[in-house]
Amino acid sequence: MYYNEFMTITAGIMGATGFTGIELIDILSRHSEFELTVAGSNSAVGEPVVSQNPYVFNLNKNLKYADLSLENFAGLDLVFAALPHSTSAHIVPDLIEKYGVRHVVDLSADFRLKDSGLYESYYGFDHPRKDWLQKAVFGIPELYRDNMKGAQLIAAAGCYVTAVSLAAHPFLNAKVVTDTIIADCASGVTGAGKKLAPATQFTTVNENYSIYGLINHRHRPEIEQVCENKVLFTPHLLPIDRGILATCYFKVIQGVSADKLQSILSDCYKDESFVKVLNSPPDLKSICKTNFAGIFVTLDDATDTAIVVSAIDNLLKGASGQAVQCANAVFGLDESMGLN
């Protein structure tokens, strides 16, 4: 193992009262090797962590929320940064360089993109630590685990890029995709985070189905970076709390059959614990509250178009669950620890 197996791995969460932070608390309470020692949140400083997580077993009853001062996280083995976009870029390098944190898994988009210019175009800020963009390992274990062991910084993938990339990767790798990938995706409301906004309030979302971020959604360059292919990405908002369903379309080379596509998909993920290759399209109820991705593929012979459907829980495989899966890989642990 990468770490001393007789020592507990100390862990902290920055942003422990957000949706992803709450999921991280639950997962870490079940993890046999990671010990949650610092839960940082500016909105609940001094409150017992158990007061906002009363149904989480094995939670230290004496643990209280700390503020987000970097000093509170000094010397930890592992920090999960579940902070808003453009915040992590300013503080994560300091956690490592100045405060002795050994490893950081960042759940924001701040270290996902290798082209620093895209941050100004899509996120509206000039990235302050461009040097760390090349050091960060992108956080989809099924695609990048070989680079994760011992990595100082993991840029955990977003929920949309996870759903689309896991669906498209086997076919891109097999070189059967001939053109742009069309990714039609729908997400539950938790994908927007906890901050109140008119577009995500109950009266707006209930019994509604809407499109947003048309053409230039900020996660499009992230998806294209992973796929190394043009992607036409269209997100929709579902009137549900969690889950993402992604339907991807692409033209295939002549002579590729539905059976061949199924074989490509099955061979790619045959050894993966958290990717399930299905014989029928997945639905969200069957996948939510798990760290699994369910993927199905078929072929429309009339148009030589492959249709790949993937479903994930945006808060688990699309955020906190995947972040812990990445952290397990960093320390050379079984990736399923805390996630069963």
CATH 3.50.50.60 correct for 9-157+319-330:
no
Q: Which of 159, 185, 248, 288 does the annotation list as catalytic?
A: 159
In whole angstroms, what is the distance from residue 267 CA to residue 37 CA? Answer: 40
Residue 3's pLDDT is 59
In whole angstroms, what is the distance from residue 254 CA to residue 273 CA? Answer: 32
Residue 196's pLDDT is 65
Contact partners, residue 250, CB within 8 Å, separation at least 6: 168, 171, 177, 178, 179, 180, 181, 182, 305, 306, 308
Residue 216's pLDDT is 86
Q: Where does residue 250 rank: exposed (0-12), middle (13-18), buried (19+ CB within 10 A)?
A: buried
Is 159 marked active-site?
Answer: yes
Q: Which amino acid is at 295?
A: I
Residue 110's pLDDT is 98
For helices 159-173 and 220-227, angle between their N-to-C axes, nearest 10 degrees: 30
Cβ-based neighbour number of residue 257 at 10 Å: 11
DSSP 136: P
Q: Which amino acid is at 272?
A: E
Residues facing 106 on adjacent strands: 81, 155
Residue 204's pLDDT is 84
Q: What is the pLDDT along the chain (340 residues), one digit of tens a residue?
A: 565 555 789 999 999 999 999 999 999 999 999 999 999 999 999 999 999 999 998 899 999 999 999 999 999 999 999 999 999 999 999 999 999 999 999 999 999 999 999 999 999 999 999 999 999 999 999 999 999 999 999 999 999 999 999 999 999 999 999 999 999 999 999 887 767 677 788 878 888 889 988 888 999 999 999 999 999 999 999 999 999 999 999 999 999 999 999 999 999 999 999 999 999 999 999 999 999 999 999 999 999 999 999 999 999 999 999 999 999 999 999 999 999 8
Q: How far is CA 2 from CA 35, 71, 143, 263, in A?
A: 17, 26, 20, 35
Q: Where does residue 184 rank: exposed (0-12), middle (13-18), buried (19+ CB within 10 A)?
A: middle
Q: Which residue has the tokens 């074989």?
A: 263
Same fold, 9-157+319-330 and 160-312: no
Q: What angle do CA 270, 235, 211 make, to 5 degrees?
A: 150
**The 231-237 sheet, strands edge to edge:** 210-211, 231-237, 181-187, 244-251, 305-312, 293-300, 275-277
In whole angstroms, what is the distance from residue 102 CA to residue 65 CA? Answer: 22
Q: Are 152 and 76 within 8 A, CB to CB?
A: no
User: Model pTM greater than 0.85?
Assistant: yes
The closest alpha carbon to 133, from 149, 169, 101, 109, belongs to 109
Residue 6's pLDDT is 52
In whole angstroms, what is the distance from residue 24 CA to residue 49 CA? Answer: 12
Q: Which amino acid is at 6?
A: F
**The 65-66 sheet, strands edge to edge:** 65-66, 34-40, 9-14, 78-81, 103-106, 153-156, 137-139
Strand (E) or helix (H) holding 169? helix 159-173
What is the CATH number assigned to the segment(s) 160-312?
3.30.360.10
> How is the chain split into domains, by residue range?
9-157+319-330, 160-312
The closest alpha carbon to 139, from 110, 174, 100, 180, belongs to 110
